[in-house]
Each structure stands twice: as structure tokens, then as C-alpha cells.
Amino acid sequence: MPYPVRVIPASEAAVETLGLRKTYRTVRGRAVGIDGLDLRVPAGGLHALLGLPDSGKTTALRLLTGLARADAGAIKIFGVPVPDGLPGLVGRIGAVVGEPGFQPWLSGRRNLGLLASVAGVPRTRVDEVLTRVVLADRAKAAYGTYSAEEESRLALAAALLRDPDLLVLDEPSAGLDAVGTREIRQALRRLADQGKTVLVATGVLTEAQQIADTVTVLDRGRVLAQGSTADLLGDAKVSVRVRLDEPAKAATALRAAGFAIRSDGDALQVDGVAEPSDISRALAKQKLFAGELVPQREDLAAVIGRLRPVAPPVPKPLSRAEERAARKAAEQQAADRKKAADQRKTDQRKADKEAAAKKAADADQDETTKRAEEER
Amino acid sequence: MTGLLWAELRRFGTRPANLWIAAGMLLHVALAVALTAFEAGATTLAGMLEQGQISFYAMTSVFLAYVAGVLLVTGEAASGGTRALLTVEPRRGRVYWTKLAAAGLAAVPGVAAAYALLAVGMYGVHARVGLLGGPSSDLVVAMTWSGVRVLALAVCAAVGGAALGVLVRRWWVAVALAVAWFLVEQQVVLTSTSGAGTWGPFTNADMWVRGTRTVLSGEGALAGPLVHSAVLLLGVTVVLAVLGAAVFRRRDVP
């Protein structure tokens, strides 16, 4: 099947897609991975593809990097049609999509060396990128002995080998601890600040809020919203509920550290917190330790629920049995209504009769009284 | 291109499965030599060459080369490696042909070592009891040429294995297909239709390694069985490789 032709007008965007569609064959038929994706990643800065699992983030990156082929639609990277023009973009794109496929028996340095020999990059560049991702100390250790964080760093180093203009990363902080996550985010932010275009697929709302300049929210393979992170998601600041033994002392300590405090029963509410661990640190300095520290923020599912267009309820067509049951119920209701009306009429008639009889009796009584008075 | 080939060869060499396969080749021929040593008086070396016993032992190495070729392109490690390569070298055709070249080249050292051990071992065992069965210079030449043919066949098997691995994606499917084809060819085709066996890949592989000089076709269409076998085996390899290339260009990388 020839690659479907869709024309994207020239623009300043680093990545643009138009009507991109990708389906997969499954045992239950065809599953839609991406459905009419119109993506626009501005050149320079960090763009996040944000979405719940199976929203099509990884599929989109696989299509952009030529690892998968689209069923329909068009892609342009730096104005070059992809995948046909990918060989012309060699050196301008660095990507880590899925497992990087390093050899566990080789050292990190050797693994990078192999990729460098493929890319035609001098060996000195390997040491440069290893230093850049702070992995020079572990460069000679076998890749199989690396921690999750070191694996991510090496993958990032591989993507940086050719000093690319566009960096494509899938779930860069997946499997990392808090420190590793923060460091990898800082590294990506630094690259974006240096003028590179960084495209990150993530399912972590705070990651997008903390590091992304622009964001595309994906839902079921479609673009739900696209724009600046601040406009779409707000900032990453949260309100944190803190419960501890000495709330008064804690409140003083936190106020001194510059936090805005509210009293919330026997707990403290700290508003506008960028990083909840800063609260623990401020308390620990005063030898105070929180028994409960709960960040209360909008999660990704809530954001997607907020952004998802509200569809008008579509009347569900009834089955024959349901139609019969509905007709029967309507008939029953009509019969009940008629019966009730008849009953009301009968009651009315009875009441009228009784009233007439009473009136007649009263009249008779009046007549009798009148006659008796006349006789007297 | 050289860097790509080097990277693939390194990947091939560092996979434990391939190291086990190489060890398996050596162990198999060492056992064959040891068993022959116990009954060294049974037959001469020339007789073993003529009866196809040497080629039978060598064919196991060829089959293992095929498995190694399959393993180069199948499994999660291979998929990850392909993804990584395609992100730095998006020319799929280049990546594919390099994989096939790497499979063919990587099969050579293991098979050569295994055949050298087999040939030297068998020669030594028979020479020790004085049962060479012919002039030693002729036997050396015959075994050397047989070794060259085994190497050529192993390269074809590894390349074909890699191409079939790309087509079917799962190593066990590719290996099971080869075993099933072998059984069908040995049990059904050879026994049912006379002459059909001359078109079977396994029969021709055996004939190629033996270097049979008997002309099979009476119609004169073929110059000789060696050329017939060579053309057929090469043809099968080329067809598989081209099919694999067509699929690799279009298919999504898992």
C-alpha cells in the first residue's frame, strides 16, 4: 500500500502531523492506536505528549521515528516528509522509544561506542555524552549491572550522540526514584533551554506541568487539547495536608520557611507548594516529622475528564423485547389512569348524590320546622 | 556500513545463545571423533568420506549456524537492537542487508573451527591405526574441499536463517520450520516420488557437502550434481533474503 499523500503547509514547527492514523491487528480485529492525529510541536522548547495509558503516545513517537508506518495521514519533521525523508534527517533526530536494546554483557561505554560507530560519530563524543549525563564513573561497568536510573541516563546519552536538534523520548522518568526523576527532568529542561526541541511522551501530569512549555493532551488516539502548559494544565503547585504531633511549632517553622499555612482542624494545610518534599525538609530542620503528608492535586484522569468534550446523550435504540415491555407498560399506565379517572368520576357522582340527598334532607327538615312553627 | 556491520558482529558475538551454539558445534564434533576413536577399526577414512559420515557430522554444525542466524534477528534483544540501530541509521535496507551479512560472517569462525577439529581428529584417529584407506595427500585435499563447501553451506544457512527469522519473527517457529521441512523431505518426498528429492534443500545440502560426482539428471540439463546443488541452495537463500528484505522494509519494528 503506498504511503497516503497528505500535504502539510510549510511552517516553523519542528514536528507536524496531519490526520495521522494507525491501527493494529489484534485477535479481536483491528485496534485503533492513533486516530486522526493533528500534532504541532513548536521548534525549540520542551513539548509533552500527555495521556493515560493506551492513549496513543508511544504509537505517535513510533510513527515519528519511522519504527512504525501510518495507515493514513502525513508527518513532517523540520519540513521534511517522514518516513520517506528520514535518511535526510540523520543526525538531526535523537530518539529513545521503548527499550533501548543495549547489550547487558557490554559496558555502557562499549554500547555507546557501537552506536557511535554506526552513526559515524568519533569515540571522543561517547565520553562527552557520558559526562553530560553524569555517567562517566559507571561507563566501564557492564550495562546489566546498571540501575533503572543509569539505564535511562545511558539511553539519553545514546540519543544525544549526534547532538540532535530534536530529541524524542518515551516516558523518560519511568521506573526512576524521586532523585533520578528530578535529575532527568532537569537534564531535559536544560536541553530545551539550550534551544533544542525536546518531545517527551509522558503519563505523569506533574512531569508535564514542571518541565513542558507546550503540551498536547491525547485521549483514545486523538488530540484532546493542545497549547501552552500553563493554559491547559495550570502550574504544578499543590496544596498539601500535613498532620503531626506539634502543629503550632510546625506552623511556625513552615511560615519561617516561606510557606502559606492554613489551619485545618488538627492538621495544617500548606498552599501553593511546588515540591512537597520541601515541606518534609523544612520540618526536619526543626526535628519535626510529619505523620501524614498528602499532596492534594488534580490528577491526569481528572484533567482529561475536564478537557474531554461533553457529548449530548444519544437515545439508545430499544430492542424488540424492550419495545414490547415499554408498550405494555404504557398500556398499563393508560389503563391505570383510566381506572383512576373512572373511580374519581364514580366517587364524584356518589359524593354529588350524597350531597343532593343531604340537601334534600336538610330541605325537608327546614320544611318540617317551618310547618311546626306555623302550626304553633 | 562498516560501523553497522561491526556493531552487528559485536552483538552476535556477545549473545550467550550464540556462544552456546559455538560450544555445541565443537562438543558435537569432539564427541563424533571420540566415538570414532573407540571403533577406529570399523571403517577407513576414505570410506567414511564416501559414505557421507563426515558430511553427516558436519551438517550438524551447518544446522547450528542456521539457528544462530535465526537468533540474530529474533527475540526481545534483537528487537531492541534493531530499534536502536534504526534511530541512528534509518535506512532500513542497509540495516537489513548488514544483519544478513553479519549472520553469514559470524557463522564462519565457529563452523570452521568445528570442521577443523572434525577433520584433524578423524584423520589422526584413522592414521594412528593405519586405516586411512587411500593416499594421505588425496584425503587431505578431499577433506579440505569438503570443509570449504561446509563453510559455504553454513554461510548460506546462517543468511537464510536470519532472513527466515525476519519473516516469521519467532526463533522457535523458524527452527521448527526447518526441522519439519527436514522430516517431510526425508520421510515423505524421498520415499514417495523418485526424483523429487533432487530438488529438496536438505538432500542437496548433503550432496553438496559430500561432493557427489554422480550425475543425477539423465536429460543433460544440469552440468553436474555439485552445480545443481549449489544453484538450488543459493537460489533458496536468495529467495528467502529478498522476501525478508521486502517484509523488513514495510513492517513495524516491535
User: Per 3-state DSSP, what percentage of chain B is helix, strand, and coil (rounded to 5)?
Assistant: 80, 0, 20
Q: Look up residue A265 and give its three cell numbers.
A: 482542624
β-bridge pairing A93-96 and A166-170 = parallel
Residue A63 contacts B where some CB pair is shorter than 8 Å? no
- Does a cis peptide bond (omega within 30 degrees of 0) precede residue A83? yes
Using pLDDT thresholds of 50, 70 and 90, give the confidence band for residue B224: low
Q: Are B107 and B68 in contact (CB under 8 A)?
A: yes
Query: Residue A374 carries which side chain, given as an amino acid letter?
Result: E
* Averaged pLDDT for residues A234-238: 67
**Within-domain flag for A303:** yes
Q: Look up residue A194 and give its three cell numbers.
A: 539550550
Beta bridge partners of A262: A269
Collect all residues of chain B within an 8 Å Cβ-Cβ radius of residue A117.
Answer: 2-4, 6-7
Interchain pair A114, B86: CB under 8 A? no
Q: Are A171 and A202 in contact (CB under 8 A)?
A: yes
Number of compact structural domains in chain A = 2
Q: Report d(CA A264, CA B201) in Å as an integer.
A: 82
Question: Residue written as cell 553497522?
Answer: B4
**pLDDT for res B191:** 67
How close A252 comes to chain B (CA, Å)?
54
Residue A185's CATH number: 3.40.50.300
Q: Report d(CA B224, CA A317) in Å as an integer.
A: 76
| Integer CA distances (angstroms), B218 to A80, B195, B202, B242, in order | 60, 11, 21, 32
Q: What is the pLDDT of residues A170-224, one digit of tens each?
A: 988 887 788 888 888 888 898 899 888 999 999 888 888 888 899 999 988 888 8
Q: At what angle do helices B16-38 and B53-73 cross, to 10 degrees?
A: 170
Q: Are B163 and B71 in contact (CB under 8 A)?
A: no
Rounded-to-10 torsion of CA B81, B87, B88, B90: 100
Q: Among A208, A233, A258, give the residue marking a domain's end.
A: A233
Interchain pair A67, B252: CB under 8 A? yes
Predicted confidence (pLDDT) at residue A354 exceeds the cutoff of 50: yes
Residue A189 shares a structural domain with residue A248: no
* A34: CB partners within 8 A, 6+ apart: A20, A21, A22, A56, A59, A60, A63, A70, A221
Predicted confidence (pLDDT) at residue B134 exceeds the cutoff of 90: no
| CB-nearest partner of B83 from A97, A110, A118 | A97
Residue A268 shares a structural domain with residue A186: no
Query: Which DSSP letter does residue A3 get?
Result: P
**Within-domain flag for A62:** yes
Residue A286's CATH number: 3.30.70
Collect all residues of chain A within an 8 Å Cβ-Cβ radius of residue B5.
Answer: none
**pLDDT for res B89:** 80
Q: Report d(CA A202, CA A172) in Å as an integer.
A: 8
Residue A274 shares a structural domain with residue A203: no
**Within-domain flag for A349:** no
**pLDDT for res B165:** 93
**pLDDT for res A46:** 92
**Closest to A13 measured CA to CA, from A199, A189, A156, A188:** A199
* A96: CB partners within 8 A, 6+ apart: A155, A156, A158, A159, A168, A169, A170, A172, B87
Predicted confidence (pLDDT) at residue B213 exceeds the cutoff of 60: no
Residue A135 shares a structural domain with residue A193: yes
Collect all residues of chain A within an 8 Å Cβ-Cβ radius of residue B88.
Answer: 90, 115, 118-119, 161-162
Predicted confidence (pLDDT) at residue B149 exceeds the cutoff of 50: yes
Using pLDDT thresholds of 50, 70 and 90, give the confidence band for residue A236: low
- Helices (H) and strands (E) counted in chain B, each on its own, are 11, 0
Predicted confidence (pLDDT) at residue B220 exceeds the cutoff of 90: no
Q: Among A233, A261, A282, give the residue marking a domain's end.
A: A233
How close A256 comes to chain B (CA, Å)?
51
Residue A47 shares a structural domain with residue A117: yes
**pLDDT for res A310:** 63
Contacts 24+ apart (CB under 8 A), A186-194: A187/A133, A187/A156, A188/A46, A189/A46, A191/A46, A191/A167, A192/A44, A192/A45, A192/A46
* Averaged pLDDT for residues A236-253: 82
Collect all residues of chain B within an 8 Å Cβ-Cβ radius of residue A144.
Answer: none
**Within-domain flag for A53:** yes
**Within-domain flag for A365:** no
Give the angle subtended at the CA of A229 by the CAs of A224 and A234, to the nearest 5°.
Answer: 100
**Within-domain flag for A31:** no
Predicted confidence (pLDDT) at residue B214 exceeds the cutoff of 50: no
How close A48 comes to chain B (CA, Å)?
20
Residue A255 shares a structural domain with residue A303: yes
**CA-based R_g, chain B, Å:** 19
How close A79 comes to chain B (CA, Å)?
17
| CB-nearest partner of A115 from B14, B79, B84 | B84
Q: What is the pLDDT of residues A162-171, one digit of tens each?
A: 888 999 999 8
Q: Report d(CA A20, CA B85) in Å as an integer.
A: 25
Q: How many C-beta atoms surround the C-beta of residue A225 within 10 A?
A: 19
Q: Mean pLDDT for chain B? A: 83
**pLDDT for res B205:** 85
State what percent of residues in chain B have pLDDT above 70: 90
> E-strand spans in chain A?
13-26, 29-37, 40-42, 45-51, 72-77, 80-82, 93-96, 166-170, 197-202, 214-219, 222-228, 238-243, 260-264, 267-273, 292-296
Residue A171 shares a structural domain with residue A257: no
* Averaged pLDDT for residues A135-155: 89
Residue A56 contacts B where some CB pair is shorter than 8 Å? no
Alpha-helical segments (H) within B74-214: 76-88, 92-128, 136-168, 171-184, 190-192, 201-210
Q: Mean pLDDT for chain A? A: 84
Using pLDDT thresholds of 50, 70 and 90, give the confidence band for residue B1: low
Q: Is the reported ipTM for this assembly greater than 0.90? A: no
| CB-nearest partner of B90 from A66, A69, A162 | A66
Rounded-to-10 torsion of CA A90, A96, A99, A100: 50
Q: Report d(CA B185, CA A190) in Å as an integer.
A: 63
Q: What is the pLDDT of residues A107-139, one digit of tens each?
A: 999 989 888 888 888 888 999 889 888 888 998
**pLDDT for res A152:** 86
Q: What is the pLDDT of residues A2-34, one digit of tens each?
A: 444 445 555 578 899 998 999 888 888 888 888
State what percent of residues in chain A have pLDDT above 70: 93
State what percent of residues in chain A have pLDDT above 90: 11
Residue A267 shares a structural domain with residue A198: no
Structural domain including A197 reads: 41-69+84-233
**Within-domain flag for A184:** yes
Lowest mean pLDDT among A16-30, A116-130, A299-313, B30-44: A299-313
Q: Report d(CA A178, CA A91) in Å as an integer.
A: 32
Q: Are A42 and A53 in contact (CB under 8 A)?
A: no
Q: Are B242 and B166 in contact (CB under 8 A)?
A: no
Rounded-to-10 torsion of CA B55, B57, B62, B67: 150
Determine which of B88, B247, B249 to mutate to test the interface with A (most A C-beta atoms within 10 Å): B88
Residue A248 contacts B where some CB pair is shorter than 8 Å? no
**Within-domain flag for A102:** yes
Interchain pair B90, A106: CB under 8 A? no
Residue A245 shares a structural domain with residue A167: no
Residue A265 contacts B where some CB pair is shorter than 8 Å? no
Residue A91 shares a structural domain with residue A225: yes
Interchain pair A103, B86: CB under 8 A? no
Residue A200 shares a structural domain with residue A59: yes
Q: Among A233, A258, A279, give the residue marking a domain's end.
A: A233
Lowest mean pLDDT among A239-248, A316-325, A342-351, B186-195: B186-195
Predicted confidence (pLDDT) at residue A102 exceeds the cutoff of 80: yes
Question: Residue written as cell 539511553?
Answer: A155
Residue A228 shares a structural domain with residue A94: yes
Q: Which residue has the higher pLDDT, A38 or A275?
A: A38
Q: Look up residue B128 and give its three cell numbers.
A: 594412528
Q: Look up residue A217 and give its three cell numbers.
A: 493532551
**Closest to A83 measured CA to CA, from B81, B93, B168, B78:** B93
* Averaged pLDDT for residues A334-354: 89
Predicted confidence (pLDDT) at residue B215 exceeds the cutoff of 50: no
